[in-house]
Amino acid sequence: MLTFCPVCANVLVVEEGQKCFRFACNTCPYVYNIQQKITNRHYPRLKEVDDVLGGAAAWENVDSTEEACPKCAHPRAFFMQIQTRSADEPMTTFYKCCDMKCGHQWRE
């Protein structure tokens, strides 16, 4: 938790005084003794991550090819190619197992 000086608006630092801890300003003589334990926990909400491949709808109209699934060894997989890097780099091929029970996804 950041605490600011009411005199000059700089950040107060915690330092050890004679008998207790205190907030002190590094630029002006402001000092505030801490009488009790100060806690403040704030857990920020995590940002929702969008599926860069378009989610489940991206796999609706794709073709399949003879590519064995590394997880279940099913002989066919759906595939799509997306340009993930710069234009002079080759496209990335994404695969999804055709076996509906497996559905494993990988890329090449």
- Does 102 show up as a binding residue in the annotation? yes
- At 8-64, the pLDDT tens digits run 999 999 888 777 888 999 999 999 888 887 777 888 898 877 666 667 777 788 889
Q: How many CA atoms lie within 13 A of 84 on its CB side?
A: 11
Does the model's pTM come out above 0.95?
A: no
- Does 25 show up as a binding residue in the annotation? yes
Domains of the chain are 1-39 (2.20.25), 55-107 (2.20.25.10)
- Does 72 show up as a binding residue in the annotation? yes
- Does 20 show up as a binding residue in the annotation? no
- Does 69 show up as a binding residue in the annotation? yes
Cα distance from N-terminal residue to C-terminal residue, the chain: 46
Cα Rg, the chain, nearest whole Å: 29
- Does 5 show up as a binding residue in the annotation? yes
- At 51-61, the pLDDT tens digits run 666 677 777 88
- Does 97 show up as a binding residue in the annotation? yes
How far, in Å, CA of 42 to CA of 1, rounded? 9
